[in-house]
Structure 1
Amino acid sequence: MTHTTAPDVPAETRQTQPAGPGRVADVTTTLEPVTGAAAPATRRFLVPVAAAVTVVLWGSAFIGIRAAGFDYSPGALTLGRVLVGTAALTVMAGLAGKLRLPRGRTLIGVVVWGVLWFGLYNLALNAAERTLDAGTASLLVGLAPILIAVFAGLALGEGFPARLLAGIGIAFAGVAGIALATSSGASDGVSVALGLAAALVYAGSTILQKRLLPRVDSLTMTWLGCLAGTVASLPFAPVLLEELAVAPASATLSVLYLGVFPTAVAFATWGYALTRTTAGRLAAATYAAAPLAVLMSWALLGEVPTPVALVGGALCLTGVLVATLRLR
């Protein structure tokens, strides 16, 4: 499969051919790095900084959801977060002054991506964290890279090498462990299923995003996708208004934090890094989000997953590493 690049797409967003069979880490296409020897040293320094900011903020999102989820229902929390995120991204896009709206099938693809990623993903994760602690939810969502590899094997003909199958088996054992106990020590299959659904939507959205990036710049895509997620979440507006009137200030501040930082800022830094390094290399950084979320949940919320859930989470992460990292 080859991709054509629109004439007005920046040079740094051009993509190479898809990875061959068995190359799971880069999944689909990989972005050409533009940070060669001639690139300014400050730019080479800013790429890992941008990636680190994204990972930390995405890890903190699990904490913010848990903090706001006691006073805001899943639908209201979804709408509140993406509404604030859209407003923040509008300001950022206005300051950047380079929005170029796509047309035709590309526009439809971005809208679908936005509804999935900003709407459905948030709704599933918010519902899961009604009973799951933030750390356990982050460990389940951390399965997304292995699901991306599975999608690549099915849809892109990249096959199922032995290490992918081994990783799937290890991760499945981890999910089974998490399903046995949450932080309350009680089995909650529905919440675990919702966490897995969030990971599934995450993986599918990533595949779709990689297909669309050659045709639209990352800031425009993020802004338009968040706007699409906001429109799709508007049916929850009456509930949001009702809950906003009675929610404590701390919960509302958590919603504002989720919209500005893990949504607007984190996606902006992610897009900056993604256009300047390979997608596979950048994706490896997201493995740190789940352990960070567990630590932040313990420090800020006093929540610690049960030993069984921690062992299950460790197995999930091990399975992801086995399935997606190539030995050199």
Structure 2
Amino acid sequence: MTTELPVLAPPRAAHRGRGTTYVLLAALFFSTSGTLGKSVMTAGITPEQVAAVRIGLAAFVLLAGVALVAPRKLRVRRAELPVLAGYGLLGVAGVQLLYFVAAGRLPVGIAILVEFVSPVLIALWVRFVRRHRLPGPVWAGIGLAMAGLALVAQVWDGVTLDGLGLLAGLGAALCSAGYFLLGERAVAGIDPLGLVTWGMVIGAVAISFVAPPWTWPAGLLGAHVEFGAWLPPVWLLLTLLVLVATVLAYVCGISALRHLPASVASVLGLVEPVITTVAAWVLLGEELAWPQLLGSAILLTGAYVVQRKWDVLVG
């Protein structure tokens, strides 16, 4: 999942240290989704089913928890329903589904890196749809990100990556950009925790059309799969995927934005693909060639430059 988060201005009583801790925890929790999900897929569960289980159970946990502890946060005005629906369809269902399709066909580290092209797409939306002029460093960042993506894909070899996996990763980046832009608009009138909860619920309903609950392979939950040096059961990995990589990750991410501006939080969030790549190497044995490692660094540098200028883009 993408770690891109909606804009939320921090209150006066913000604590930068606390916000930094939250955003780093969110990046750490989000980074586990690729390795957990791909290990589950080795048991025979499809990417669509993994995404459906992740979103559906996370929606249940969040809705039950918020309804019991803070039901007022679930209040939504009728006028806010269209943007909330778009947020759930693109930012939750679209991102998670396409990311798992990409991770099933590409190394996990590359799948998450391709998704981090989303700041570039946001910048282009701001330039050509909102008609804001972009400063020179933003164009430089876009150029770096595209050059890095070309190295990651090794285009000189006719694109050595799986074509469908690469398209799914770019689709996840597009949905992640939509998540950010729609979230920026929605959070102005909807409580962030309520936004995440209803986004999960809408996403769960949408993805149920792709992978209905009655098609989930319950018989595989007890199967054991390789996860680094361990052989845990599928049900344990799915539990971690739902509670750690989804619920805790989203809650920490939203909490971070109570204390940090989105521009700072998004830059700190760039540690996510780094952690994801290292985890995939250690737990799944997925090594990248040196041009791909170089391209990863260039892509992240470009995304960093674009995100550092986010305040200018949305001003």
Q: Same fold (TM over 0.5)?
A: yes
Residue number in structure 2 paired with 1:32: 9
Residue number in structure 1 paired with 2:191: 217
Amino acid at match of 1:171: A
Residue number in structure 1 paired with 2:249: 266
Whether 2:28 is the aligned partner of 1:51: answer: no
CA distance in 1, matches of 2:270, 2:63: 29
Residue number in structure 1 paired with 2:121: 147
Q: Are residues 269 and 307 of structure 1, via their aligned partners in 2, closer, same or farther at CA, if it must alter by over 3 Å?
A: same
Residue number in structure 1 paired with 2:212: 237
Task: Flag structure 1 segments of 5+ consecutive residues without an equivalent.
Answer: 1-28
Contact 2:126 2:132 in 1 (8 A): yes
Amino acid at match of 2:36: G
Structure 1 residue 95: deviation in Å?
Answer: 4.5
**Stretch deviating more after TM superposition (314-323 or 245-254):** 245-254
Residue number in structure 2 paired with 1:19: none
CA distance in 2, matches of 1:315, 1:47: 27
CA distance in 1, matches of 2:123, 2:255: 23
Whether 2:45 is the aligned partner of 1:72: answer: yes
Deviation track 1:12-51 (CA, whole Å, cap 9, x = no partner) reads: xxxxxxxxxxxxxxxxx95433244xx6xxx554322211
Residue number in structure 1 paired with 2:132: 158
Residue number in structure 2 paired with 1:109: 83
* 1:127-146 aligned within 5 A: 127-146=101-120
The root-mean-square deviation of aligned C-alpha atoms, in Å, is 2.4
Whether 2:62 is the aligned partner of 1:89: answer: yes
Amino acid at match of 1:191: G
Structure 1 residue 213: deviation in Å?
Answer: 0.3
CA distance in 2, matches of 1:84, 1:169: 39
Structure 1 residue 238: deviation in Å?
Answer: 5.4
Residue number in structure 1 paired with 2:171: 197
Q: Are residues 30 and 218 of structure 1, via their aligned partners in 2, closer, same or farther at CA, if it must alter by over 3 Å?
A: closer
CA distance in 2, matches of 1:194, 1:216: 30
Q: Are residues 96 and 301 of structure 1, via their aligned partners in 2, closer, same or farther at CA, if it must alter by over 3 Å?
A: same
Structure 1 residue 110: deviation in Å?
Answer: 1.0
Task: Flag structure 2 segments of 5+ consecutive residues without an equivalent.
Answer: 1-5, 225-232, 310-315
Amino acid at match of 2:184: K
Deviation track 1:144-176 (CA, whole Å, cap 9, x = no partner) reads: 222222222233333222222222222112212
Contact 2:266 2:307 in 1 (8 A): no
Contact 2:99 2:112 in 1 (8 A): no
Amino acid at match of 1:177: L
Contact 1:77 1:240 in 2 (8 A): no
Q: Paired residues, what number?
A: 291
Q: Are residues 167 and 84 of structure 1, via their aligned partners in 2, closer, same or farther at CA, if it must alter by over 3 Å?
A: same
Contact 1:140 1:313 in 2 (8 A): no
CA distance in 1, matches of 2:82, 2:183: 12
Amino acid at match of 2:212: A
Contact 2:120 2:142 in 1 (8 A): yes
Structure 1 residue 306: deviation in Å?
Answer: 2.1
Structure 1 residue 257: deviation in Å?
Answer: 1.7
Amino acid at match of 1:279: A
CA distance in 1, matches of 2:306, 2:59: 35
Q: Secondary structure of 1:33's match?
A: coil
CA distance in 1, matches of 2:23, 2:131: 29
CA distance in 2, matches of 1:294, 1:229: 27
Q: Secondary structure of 2:188's match?
A: helix
Residue number in structure 1 paired with 2:281: 298
Sequence identity, in percent? 24
**Stretch deviating more after TM superposition (306-315 or 285-294):** 306-315
